[in-house]
Structure 1
Amino acid sequence: TWPFENDTSAIVKKLARRSLASEKRRNLMVVVAVALAAFLVCFAAVISVSIVQIQRNQVADTYEAVLGGMDESQVAALKELPDFARVGEYYLLGQEHSRQGYNASYVYCDSDMMYIARSQMELVKGRLPELADEIAVSESFLSVYGLNAKIGETVRLDTESFYGDYTVTGILEGAGEKEANIFAVAVSKAALTQWPGFDPAGYRAYVHFKNDRQLGQETMAARCREIAAQFGSSHVGMNSNYFASNSRSIDFVTIFGIAALVLAGGYVVIQSIFRISVNDRIQSYGQLRAIGATPKQIRRVVKKESRRLGGIGMLIGILLGVGGGLLLFPKGFHGAYYGAAVLLTAAICWIMVASSVHRPVKIAAGISPLEAMRFLAGQEKTHSRKKHRKLSPVTMGFANFGRDRKKSVSIAVSLSLGGILLLVVSSIALTRSPEQAARLFFPDGDYKLYLSSEQPEEEIMVAGNPLNEELRQELLSVDGVRNVLAARRSLHAKFGTSERAEAGMCDMLTDSNRMDVEAALVSGVMPADTHSILLGTNYQKHYTGMDVGSTMELTLGQKTVTVTISGLFDTAKTANGHGALTIDSAGLFAPEELFHELHPEIESFDYSWSIVSDPKKAESVENSLQEIVSGRSNLGMDTIATHIEYEKMQSSIIFGSLQALSWLLFLFGVVNLINTTLSNQISRKRENSILRSVGLTGKQLCRMSVIEGMCYALFASLTVLILGVPFSMVICAEVSKKSFAGTVVPYRFPFLQMGLFLLVLFGMEVILSVWMVRRQKKQSLVEQMRAQS
């Protein structure tokens, strides 16, 4: 017997095509389920690789190090060195408050620097200023404060150092300007040199190495220190973001986490759909067996159907996922990464489809011709009952619900997955609300005044700290201000070893903050002597040599001392910076004695004040504080409203994405519910017509169907509540501890989100049941009784 003599593949293909043509509803449900699964996995993978690629693009060809304390000739000399592919010239004039209410950050940079800093500030239109009365500003600044001026038109600046009309030569694009209410203003070198605070040796040089891919961080850092010593640079800082982003890997945890949820949801739904389909066609499979079809051939027919439907669904889902990723992150496209995301999606979805149809295929192939002829779809085995109950539409609805427990459990599981995730995410969002997160930075009041200047803090304090008694009394005289508290005593510090150096704010340990800092300790002990300090974990993670017991050089101002790291603290629990990004949060804590030892000439180390005020007079208090700050240099003002807006933006991105994922997973259950409801009504068409012929009214039939649907929805709702509430309470407690320095915030149930979930769930079931009954009523009883199933 030759192999081709028993080749029945053509017949199997024809049977599969005929089956696909006859079951359009089943086909649509499977395609939708697979497409939804493929979209979720592909979209998650594409987003993950796009974010990584965008971050790499942002640091690619930018800068690896910055050299401070350079003059114009030294920057020019750096540009001639063969080590560097590009050197950017930069000067930060400082931040000044405007009478109109915004904060202007004045900078000077050349074209090389503008290219290097394009991820933070980009010239999107026009040119950089060249004359003293020319500036470049953002479109958002012009729309709010510049009367929508265009390039070539004039705008008025009203800050202390820059007052008058200036011609707009270029349009900048900066990140987060509106949220922080700080707008970058690029000035010309002519305006810089005329500025009263100009220091010829105040330039910064941002350098980008040639062959940076072949050079490691240590090699580039060592070379920068040599060049800094050669040119007399006061400080060398390495761009840690460059090295972190350049070597960042793809977030596979998120991808495979979503894939696991999708596999669970898709498996339940697709298996349910094919099981119902097999039950509906079981007599056809029995007829095929009777005329000689083997179990293997039946198995191949069902598998071919699933493969074809799965392939169509995967193609649609992958196209939607890739398209969505390109639409959201067009700059994150990477051909190889996108190709890997598509292959990963295809593999996961193929496994899901193959495993989902395994059981239905086994049922179809294992049925004997005699069993198939006896089997009636819709007449599943019912569970015996000891009591005979009175028949009514309600009891019949409950009986229909209990006919097939596997089907009921399948629907409840598929509906519950999205509901539980939605409950957990919504609960976390309520636990870490933007108002509560912002309040961490404002434990005493809604406003802060702090030192904000390009000039070093120790120089300002030596000359006479503006946060003095005179200012305190002026603040207390404002109507609505109740108290003024010293929130932080700090100095800018440089610290590290001979190989590695860093910079950040060093806060003084005082009686008011000692307990909070001690609660944030993750290892070591509190400083026991003058030359012991605490270091933030964010620095220790990047520099493994900086650990408990290690020594390092600490520079406060111009004075350096050797200190020992006595402990490490969690910087997330002690975040106390200003502005939306809080970049001046404490990186170190040192004893008060060390501050006085290094700077005995400073009387007050106050860096930040908290303003306690009457909430009912918030508007007048804020206006008065703005006037006070605008009349003084070297002072900045921070408000809780700025932090709330930033937290809202972050929450909408993070929690909004997770809630969208929850609703998409819920769609798996919706597909399963729709398919099951329609299949039940179609398979019971003959049964319902018999009931109607013996006196069941259309209203009673509708009530029976609705009761059955309500049972599915109620079963799913109880599953969400019973499993989801305890799980979300545990998760929220952990999130609360990490977000609020160990404090557990009382759990809040998300009534709005879950109310919407229940409304959609119950409403959809009622609509489906009523629609199917009305559709059946359009046919005569005779036609329905003639139907085979």
Structure 2
Amino acid sequence: MLNVANKKIIRKLSFRSFRSNRTRNIVALIAIALTTILFTSIFTVAISMNYSWQQQTMRMVGGSAHGGFKYLTKEQVNELKDHPLIKEYGYSVMLAMPMESPFHKHHTEIRYGNDDGAKLFFSYPTTGRMPSEVKELATDTKVLDLLGVPHELGQKVTFTYPLGGKNITDTFTLCGFWETDETMLASQIWLSKDYVEEKLSSYDKEADKGWGSNIIGTWSLDVMFDNSSNIEKNLSIIAEDKGYNTLDNTAGNYLDTGVNWAYTSTHLNSADRMITLLALAMIVVLIVLTGYLIIYNIFQISISNDIRFYGLLKTIGTTYKQLKRLIRNQALMLSLLGIPVGLVIGFFIGNTLTKIIMSNMAVTSTYITFNPWIFIGSAVFSCITVLISTRKPGKMAASVSPMEAVRFVERSIVKQKTSRTKTGSKVYRMARGNLIRSRKKTTLVILSLSLSVVLLSAVYTFAKGFNMDKFLSKFVVSDFVVGHADYFKSYFRSEDQKVTESIISAIHEQEGITEEGRVYLYTDLASVLQTKKKFMEFYSDLPPEHLDSSIINKKDEDMVEMNLDVYGLDELPMKHLKLVKGSIDLEQMNQEHGIIQLLSEDDYGNLYMHESIYNIGDKVSIHYITDYDIDDKGNVTENNGFDIDYKVVATAMIPNNISMRRYGSLNFAITSDTMREDMEIISNNKNVFSTMNYMINVEPDKESNMESFIKDYTNNVEADINYESKSTYTKEFQSFQNMFLLIGGILSLIIGFIGIMNFINAELTSIMSRKRELAMLNSIGMTGKQIKRMLVIEGLFYGGNAIVISFFVSILVGFFLIRQMESMLWFFQYHFTVIPILGVLPIFILLGIIIPLSAYKATNKQSIVERLREAE
């Protein structure tokens, strides 16, 4: 065969054939765009959620660096910063952390740092610059507001800070500022290098016994690597290469390091990564299958309709490869139009869904990321889907012989049965025969319709499986819990964060209170002596490298000190403890000086039994420290302390929402009466215990009034106090549930629209391609009413079978997949429901009636003779 340069001709044929199939092109364009929308929206949600979560967490952590070295000298910073693994770095040195007014309600750090360090802290001036002159200052608008300074460069800023046991008051010139990010838990005041080093040159660390004195004058080096994988390993390599170690904190060459846990890779093990990749792969396969079903069907139907055209091309010498290329070129032309539209719409939908999701995950800000992989990945997968979908139709067009093309009638190769009837063929039998004639097309249309219904059913079943009673039992033990704002951030520690008597009195004056009670907490240091064996049992869930090496090296019978927290409980919180063993009798506890060993639980209600290291009846001697100093290594020097003996009367689980809301230490509870008596002995006129939270129950009809009062009071009278209510969690639960319904509903709608389009396209092209056949039926006496009934039966057959298949597949999906969520989500309880399937049924019935009738009406405008001649 001659090698003829005919690519230009094939392109021209492709373009002209493309132009002649307007209906197919419109449907295929929409299908390709919808497939791309699915890819883009899923990728946008996944990437933007991860990015937003990381950004939010970074701001809470205080920086975007991969990791860093803490408590360094200036010489160590210079030694470490030039390591080849480090691609970017920032450094800073701490001067002071003021705790007195106006900084007593807002954590503020005074530092010197370089520009890159400030950027890694999210604390770089957006107006002005970093300090360079001795008496210059840069900070955020929150600090300026606390100091009453206008947001204008050149303003004089005066404040007082502690250093070396003295308070220093100084005035600076504002050279830069930035808007406060409410997510950040701390503000930075940047001062010049000369000023900070001059103040630290006379700083006596040994004489400083103030809070945080262990980090004053120490340098931090924050670093960025090529990527966020193996951060901890890279930090260790840097330290070891410079002659340091990061494991043994008792060694003289020890360096303290920190890994930024905001990066997803830092808390995903290989199994988690595999599960994540598998889930993403399943979603991609689902979308490819969805797109494939319609795009394949569109081209298959189109080629069936134009089969005579391809046969004629064969007669004039068009080769197998050229015909395949012709079909592929048309598909690529459609992709060039449909994919960009899908990318734009999908990105918009994806970011909208991301904001909805993140708002239900306590993320205050959603960060839109124009990650190029969103568009590259979506475009590539969409293009692959199109090429896969057109491959078989292309082979079909290329394989047909000229003679077969001329005689072609759409059918499946099935064994035909001959039947005799006295009444003639029934309409429903004719409809059934028409569908069987092209089994592959019929199967694909039914599958594409079923897929959308199955997905909708799965999403609805999943969202409705959220059990509100289970959810509320985890978070709510009373109608209202009142506490300091820091308490609800899991940061309660001192007398300054207590619930004030003024708000308790104000609440007590309101109508409808049925129960009330307080949870007290000892706010100074407390500890017990326990064997190393028991210590290791308690911390058995922690890796050994996270424990003090000096303890690990001890013998099992050696005594070690364990820090603990002691609660004092009124009757209301006491009755919400979940008893594990022993008994709780308040009167008996007061008489016997009883104490309850407290355990925590995981999200599924499983108790952390390794925290139970005492038996009922054991004696516990708690050492209360009321006066102490802390050195720069965090070691405590005791100045005054008392030992008080207790008897363990019970082991119980304390609900998270009335506890300190954090774990990691031994916890005990005594009655509030016992706490008041014991603290009076050891306090020495010092407040050593505080009201951590105040719980109340009210009459049902008074709940809304109480909530309005507490909300108004905490907003306008005592802004540092916050609260949680049962209605808060109810709204949170409903919002969380509606989020899944909305997102799943949107995705189901897109896939459902693809399925409906497939149905419409199949019905229209089938009826249009059967114009001659329908005309022949008219000519031999079949009435228009009978033909309409036959076509409607065909349409209802599609919808009916899709519903039946969806029902059985939904049962299987629910039982084998969704039901497994009970072991993954503690508030989930599986119940199969047919509501979404029944909801779709009327839509399918309407489509099965309207589309065939509309298509037949369009073909029936010509006379029978004209239709018979047109098809020849």
**TM-score (structure 2 length as normaliser):** 0.61
The residue aligned with 1:787 is 870
Residue 35, structure 1, aligned to residue 33, structure 2 = yes
Report if aligned partners of 2:435, 2:794 keep a CA contact under 8 Å in 1: yes
- Corresponding residue for 2:91? 85
In 2, distance between residues paired with 1:278 and 1:387? 35
Deviation at residue 66 of structure 1 after TM alignment: 12
Q: What are the residue-to-residue correspondences of 1:648-663 with 2, within 5 Å?
A: 648-663=734-749
Aligned to 1:301: 326
Query: Which residue, out of 666, 669, 680, partners 1:590?
Result: 666
Q: Which residue of 1 aligns with 2:591?
A: none
Q: In structure 2, do the counterparts of structure 1 residues 57 and 130 end up closer, same or farther at CA, with 3 Å as the change threshold? A: closer
Corresponding position of 2:455? 421
Q: 1:430 to 1:702 in 2, by over 3 A?
A: same
Residues 1:619 and 2:652 aligned together:
no
* Alpha-carbon separation, structure 2, partners of 1:121 and 1:499: 42
Q: Which residue of 2 aligns with 1:195?
A: none
Of residues 701, 709, 715 in structure 1, which corresponds to 2:795? Answer: 709
Number of the residue aligned with 1:745: 829
What is the letter of the counterpart of residue 833 of structure 2? F
The verdict on how the C-alpha distance between 1:119 and 1:170 changes in structure 2, with shifts beyond 3 A counting, is closer
Decide whether aligned partners of structure 1 residues 331 and 616 sit closer, same or farther in structure 2, where only a CA change above 3 A counts.
closer
Letter in 2 for 1:345: S
Can you list the C-alpha shifts for 1:562-581, whole angstroms capped at 9, x where unaligned? xxxxxxxxxxx997248xxx
Report percent identity of matched pairs. 18
Deviation at residue 657 of structure 1 after TM alignment: 2.7
Residue 434 of structure 2 corresponds to residue 400 of structure 1: yes
Answer yes or no: is the 8 Å Cα contact 1:431–1:736 preserved in 2.
no
What is the 5 A alignment of 1:320-335? 320-321=345-346, 332-333=368-369
Aligned equivalent of 1:675: 761
Cα distance between partner residues in 2 of 1:575 and 1:775:
68
How far is the alpha carbon of 1:522 from its aligned partner?
7.9
Which deviations, in whole Å up to 9, do the C-alpha atoms of 1:67-89 show, x marking residues without a partner? 99x9xxxxxxx999999635687
User: Greater Rg, structure 1 or structure 2?
Assistant: 2
> Counterpart of 2:445 in structure 1: which amino acid?
I
Distance verdict in 2 for CA 1:42–1:66, change over 3 Å: closer
Partner of 1:513: 578
Distance 2:639 2:392 in 1: 73
Superposition deviation, residue 186 in structure 1: 13
| Residue of 339, 344, 347 corresponding to 1:314 | 339
| Structure 2 CA distance for partners of 1:627 and 1:296, relative to 1, 3 Å | closer
Map Cα deviations across residues 347-375 of structure 1 (whole Å, 9 max, x no partner): 43333233323322332233233322222
- Alignment-derived partner of residue 136 in structure 2: none
Indicate the residue corresponding to 2:292 in structure 1: 267
Per-residue CA shift, 1:510-551, capped at 9, x if unaligned?
8933548567448874523389xxxxxxxxxxxxxxxxxxxx
What is the rounded CA distance, in whole Å, between the counterparts of 1:212 and 1:599 in structure 2? 51
- Does the alignment pair 1:775 with 2:858? yes
Question: Does 1:366 find its partner at 2:431?
Answer: no
Match of 2:63 in 1: 62
* Correspondences of 1:184-199 after superposition (within 5 Å): none
Corresponding residue for 1:74? none
- Residue equivalent to 2:382: 349
Conservation of the 8 A alpha-carbon contact between 2:69 and 2:221: no
Q: Work out whether residues 692 and 698 of structure 1, in 8 Å CA contact, stay in contact via their aligned partners in 2.
A: yes
Q: Which moved more, 1:424-433 or 1:765-774?
A: 765-774
Partner of 1:48: 46
Residues 415 and 666 in structure 1, CA contact (< 8 A), matched pair in contact too: yes
* 1:683 CA displacement: 1.0
Q: What's the CA shift string for 1:61-116, capped at 9, x where partnerless?
A: 83779999x9xxxxxxx9999996356876678999xxxxxxx9756677999987
2:36–2:382: 8 Å Cα contact kept in structure 1?
Answer: yes
Equivalent residues of 2:463, 2:740 under 8 A apart: no
CA 1:12–1:457: 2 relative to 1, 3 Å: closer
- Corresponding position of 1:480: 512
Report the secondary structure of 2:666's partner residue. strand
1:547 maps to which residue?
none
* Native 8 Å contact 2:522 2:690 kept in 1: yes
Q: CA deviation at 1:676?
A: 0.3
**Contact 2:518/2:694 (<8 A) preserved:** yes
**Closer, same or farther: CA 634–320 of 1 in aligned 2, 3 Å:** closer
696-705 or 368-377: bigger deviation: 696-705
Could you tell me how far 1:48 is from its partner in structure 2? 3.3
The CA deviation at 1:713 is 1.2
The 1:475/1:294 distance shift into structure 2, 3 A limit, reads closer
The 1:436–1:505 alpha-carbon spacing in structure 2 relative to 1, beyond 3 Å, is: farther
Q: Take 2:656 and 2:150, find their aligned partners in 1: how far apart are those partners?
A: 32
Counterpart-to-counterpart distance in 2, 1:438 and 1:637 = 18
Residue type at the aligned position of 1:303: R
Q: Is the 8 A contact 1:55 1:245 kept in 2?
A: no
> Per-residue CA shift, 1:14-63, capped at 9, x if unaligned?
33233212212222222222222223223433443344445566649837
Contact 1:298 1:364 in 2 (8 A): yes
Bigger mean CA deviation after superposition, 55-64 or 648-657:
55-64
Q: Are the structure 2 counterparts of residues 577 and 346 from structure 1 closer, same or farther at C-alpha, using a change threshold of 3 Å? A: same
Amino acid paired to 1:638: E
Q: Does 1:497 align with 2:547?
A: yes
**Counterparts of 2:676 and 2:637 in 1: how far apart (Å)?**
11
Residue 528 (structure 1) aligns with: 613
Provide the rounded CA distance (Å) in 1 between the counterparts of 2:124 and 2:756: 44
Which stretch of structure 1 is more off in the superposition, 758-767 or 626-635?
A: 626-635
Q: RMSD between aligned alpha carbons?
A: 6.0
* In structure 1, C-alpha distance between the alignment counterparts of 2:433 and 2:739, rounded to whole Å: 45
- Residue in structure 2 matching 1:384, options 409, 417, 424: 417
Alignment CA distance shift 1:387-1:735 (3 Å): farther
In 2, are the aligned partners of 1:441 and 1:575 still within 8 Å (CA)?
Answer: yes
1:209 aligns with 2:242: no
What is the aligned partner in structure 1 of residue 24 from structure 2?
A: 26
Aligned to 2:160: none
- Per the normalisation by structure 1, the TM-score is 0.67
Q: Which residue identity is paired with 2:455?
A: L
Question: Counterpart amino acid of 2:846?
Answer: G
1:410 CA displacement: 0.5
Asked whether the equivalents of residues 79 and 87 of structure 1 are also in contact (C-alpha less than 8 Å), the reply is no
1:179 corresponds to:
none
Q: Which ranges in structure 1 are unaligned for 5 or more consecutive residues?
A: 71-77, 97-103, 138-168, 177-182, 188-198, 230-235, 532-551, 562-572
Report 1:568-647 matches (<5 A).
576-577=656-657, 585-588=661-664, 590=666, 592=668, 601-602=678-679, 607-608=692-693, 610-622=695-707, 636-647=722-733
Quickly say closer, same or farther: Cα 1:322–1:9, change in 2 above 3 A. Answer: same
Cα contact 1:681–1:772 (8 A) shared by 2: yes
CA distance in 2 between counterparts of 1:379 and 1:786 reads 26
Once the 2 structures are TM-superposed, how far is the Cα of residue 411 of structure 1 from its aligned partner?
0.9
8 A Cα contact 2:811 2:832, kept in partner: no
In structure 1, what is the Cα distance between the partners aligned to 2:150 and 2:818? 46
Q: Describe how 1:220-259 pairs up with structure 2 within 5 A.
A: 240-242=260-262, 252-253=277-278, 255-259=280-284
Partner of 1:284: 309
Q: Is the partner of 1:376 in helix, strand or coil? A: coil
Q: Structure 1 525/86 Cα, relative in aligned 2: closer, same or farther at 3 Å?
A: closer
Aligned residue type for 1:23: N
Contact 2:482 2:694 in 1 (8 A): yes
For the residues of structure 2 that align with 1:633 and 1:289, how far apart are their CA atoms?
83
Distance in 2, matches of 1:22 and 1:689, equals 24
Match of 1:546 in 2: none
Counterpart-to-counterpart distance in 1, 2:826 and 2:639: 33
| Number of aligned residues | 677
- SS across alignment from 1:440: helix
The amino acid across from 2:869 in the alignment is R
Q: Is the contact made by 1:702 and 1:769 (CA closer than 8 Å) also made in structure 2?
A: yes
